[in-house]
Structure 1
Amino acid sequence: MITGPVFGTFTDAYLAVLREIHDQPRHFTVTRGKTAIETPNVSFTIGDPVARTPYLAARRGNIVFNHAEALWYLSGHDDLDMVAHYAPRLRGLSENGTTLTGTAYGPRLFARIGPDGQSQFDRVLAMLGDDPDTKRATMLIMRPDELADPANPDVACTLGLQFMLRAGRLHAIAYMRGNDAMIGLYGDTFAFTFIQEFAARLLDVEVGTYAHHVGSMHINTLDLAKVERILAEPTRPDLGHATMPSTAGWDDLQTVLAWEEKLRRNQTIYTADAVDLDSYWSQVIALFEVHRQLTHHPDQPVSPEALALLRPGHRWLVEQRWPDRMPAGVTP
């Protein structure tokens, strides 16, 4: 067999990668002041990419940021304000304090700035429509000039993404020069499979597998204690995974992005009857309403009404991430 292991869900793959690097690291590395344990040339495939969210209490995943990052990419923007609102650490990667470069995959994938007025994403979808068996449906992310400045703090970790349409299913492949197994792998897989599912909806095909290939898969030594807590969890809840509606399109994304901005700026409140959207998208907006309350009302618990708008898996993740902000009677 010449391919990597196949896992049913991302949770299975995530735990297997953490276990392998933790138990059998191949190298110890020190780069840019960070010490890490590393396993090179890691590859795996996920059979069901829609099951992209691990329910791991010790991981305390930020499901709001995961959606914000994926939507930020799809928007084609590179602004720091949106994504750093949900992950303030990203401000340290910006050289000008207003934009990101290597981390901002959106302009490279989705901005319609090519000579043909199309984005890379537009081109590969058109290519797949014309020639379903094509091997050229590839979008490049890392650029050679990112390495021209040795002090550049923000070099893209992802080399490129590829779509392959086979037997009516859209498969996706990510190629990465390096991946932080604890943090980066978690967020990258979420964003890339989200993009994959959205592309499948636009093409009106089924979602296929997702493959992930990494040159340097590593765990920073500062994260080892947390990794050990994740690996020691005895059980995990089965909270399911929502599927993007078959009608998903750019109009839905624009509506969600408009709500995200208003809620981020505390310009409005989101309620159950505020918008006429499929429940999949309305529950994404509900995450931003919860985050609005967390950010703009730091001395108050999140309202029960806002939590009730979340799907069960998202609510559980929010409870694990912000247990001290839950209303009375909610015990993570």
Structure 2
Amino acid sequence: MDMMEFQGINSFLVGMAKTLIEDGREREIRGQICYELPYPVICKITNPRARIVTITERKWNPVLPYVESLWLGMGHNDLAMPAHYLERLSEFSDDGITLRGAYGPRFRYWNGGNSDYNIGQDYSSNYSGGIDQFKFIIDLLQKDPNSRQAIITIGDPAKDCFDSSGEIKETKDRPCTRNIQFIINDGKLDVFVHMRSNDFMWGASGVNIFNYTFLQEIFAGILGVDVGVYYHMANNFHYYERHKSKVEKIANVVDFEDASHRYSLSFNSLQDYDNNIKKLANYEVQLRNGDLDVILDLESDFASDWGNAILSYYQEYKGQAKFYNSVLNKIINEN
């Protein structure tokens, strides 16, 4: 298995689009045609901060990954928030209320039981059960910076394999990401993501790499180390027929750069991160419900851009969304 190296998300987009066009093989999955690589892939991204897609042919939604990162950090799996920004998300829900395989509860409230999570805005504030895997990563690497055991587990056989009658579980949503490992190498935090299956458009370039490098930068800040390298490993890498012309256009892009921004202030503890998450979550609810009474003011430039990215979704406030990150400012305020 060869490793493909890219500087950032844009070079990843172009490089993997070319690879998929050259090596992709047609296969029918659940009544849909997709094109998949006949081998597993490892993609090394040397500058994980270069996570903002600026290739216009991709038609990337810059708001969605910020919304999803907030949803993941909250530990929720209810559809109310993310489906407001991406209506088709409900197509992947078994009950129209939650995303059964969503990562948030598995990140923050892992409980090892066989009942599916149902954690939303009103429920999670009083939900104290389960293991916070974010806390495990931070506590372990603060105690032993050389540890190779800092792994977040997402795949959960108790919930994902069988139903209550012992039959294979019928569900639209089994987690694609299986685990995430964090290792400090040479004073920098490296991240290794392992996926059983990965869609190039909706998954990898849409939200996955953004979400995980975003988390990498947050954890690095809390741990007091620099951001290292990001490794994205997928056993099956593919795209669907509906995206074929777009993938071909991306593969032919020649004028692009992997621009990034280094924030001056992130979070100094997991508690600090959670406090900012609560402020951002309350802010998002006000925006979604149309009752915003004040523009969010956060000390962290990282969190400020996070909130303003969500603010920019709402046309009545879009002009008020000012960014520290010039790349964000370009794709949101100058387009």
Shift of 1:236: 3.0
2:35 to 9, 34, 37: 37
Instruction: State whether residues 41 and 217 of structure 1, in contact with CA within 8 Å, keep that contact through their aligned partners in structure 2.
Output: yes
Distance 1:34 1:206 in 2: 42
1:205-235 per-position Cα deviation (integer Å, ceiling 9, x unaligned): 1111110110100011210101122223342
- Identify the residue that residue 250 of structure 2 maps to in structure 1: 230
- Do structure 1's residue 22 and structure 2's residue 21 form an aligned pair? yes
More moved, 201-210 vs 277-286? 277-286
The structure 2 residue matched to 1:306, chosen from 292, 315, 320, is 320
What amino acid sits opposite 1:73 in the alignment?
L
RMSD: 2.5
* Residue 194 (structure 1) aligns with: 214
What is the aligned partner in structure 1 of residue 115 from structure 2?
A: none
- The equivalent position to 1:177 in structure 2, one of 196, 203, 206, is 196
Name 2:291's counterpart in structure 1.
Answer: 267
Q: Give the corresponding residue for 2:108.
A: 110
Counterparts in 2 of 1:292 and 1:29: CA distance versus 1, 3 Å: same
Aligned to 1:256: 280
Look up the match of 2:83: 84
Deviations, residues 7-52 of structure 1 (Å, cap 9, x unaligned): 2212212221111011222x32111122111113011111111111
Deviates more, 1:248-257 or 1:215-224: 248-257
Deviation at residue 285 of structure 1 after TM alignment: 1.6
Which whole-Å CA distance do the structure 2 matches of 1:239 and 1:269 have between them? Answer: 34
TM-aligned CA deviation for residue 303 of structure 1: 5.9
Match of 2:151 among 133, 138, 149: 138
Task: From the superposition, tell whether residues 24 and 64 of structure 1 become closer, same or farther in structure 2 (CA, over 3 Å).
Answer: same
Distance 1:58 1:3, change over 3 A: closer
Q: Does the aligned pair in 1 maintain the 2:51–2:260 contact within 8 Å?
A: no
TM, length-normalised to structure 2? 0.84
Q: Deviations over 1:103-138 (max 9, x none)?
A: x10110122758996412211221112222222111
> Which of 309, 312, 319 is equivalent to 1:290?
312
> Which 5+ residue runs of structure 1 have no aligned equivalent?
294-301, 320-329
Deviations, residues 149-172 of structure 1 (Å, cap 9, x unaligned): 453101111111111112211111
Aligned position for 2:173: 154
Cα gap change, 1:228 to 1:198, in 2 (>3 Å): same
> Could you tell me which amino acid in structure 2 is paired with residue 259 of structure 1?
Y
Aligned counterparts of 2:2 and 2:309: Cα–Cα separation in 1: 37
Post-superposition CA distance 1:283-310 (Å, at most 9, x none): 32222222123xxxxxxxx567335568
> For 2:258 and 2:11, how far apart are their aligned partners in 1?
13
Higher mean C-alpha displacement, 230-239 vs 7-16: 230-239
- 2:46/2:229 contact within 8 Å kept: yes
Mapped partners of 1:199, 1:122: distance in 2? 10
Q: Which runs of 5+ in 2 are unaligned?
A: 113-127, 163-167
Q: Do the aligned residues in 2 keep the contact of 1:80 with 1:97 (CA within 8 Å)? A: yes
Residues 40, 237 of structure 2: 8 Å contact kept: yes
Equivalent residue for 2:182, pick from 153, 163, 171 = 163
Write the deviation string for residues 66-88 of structure 1: whole angstroms up to 9, x where unpaired.
Answer: 10111111111111111111111
Residues 1:74 and 1:4: Cα distance change in structure 2 (over 3 Å): same
Aligned identity (percent) is 27
Equivalent residues of 2:109, 2:130 under 8 A apart: no
The alignment partner of 2:284 has SS state of: helix
Asked if structure 2 preserves the Cα contact closer than 8 Å seen for 1:127 and 1:134, the reply is: yes
Q: What is the distance in 1 between the residues matched to 2:81 and 2:139? A: 30
Aligned to 1:326: none
How far, CA to CA, are the matches of 2:52 and 2:141 in structure 1? 28
Q: CA deviation at 1:237?
A: 6.3
Partner of 1:325 in structure 2? none
Q: Output the amino acid matched with 1:11.
A: N
- CA–CA separation in structure 2 for the residues paired with 1:276 and 1:56: 30
AA aligned opposite 2:66: H
Aligned residues: 308
Equivalent in the alignment of 2:300: 278
1:301-332: per-residue Cα shift (whole Å, max 9, x none)?
Answer: x567335568542244336xxxxxxxxxx7x4
Contact 1:270 1:286 in 2 (8 A): no
Structure 1 residues 199 and 269: alpha-carbon distance in aligned structure 2, compared to 1, 3 A threshold: same
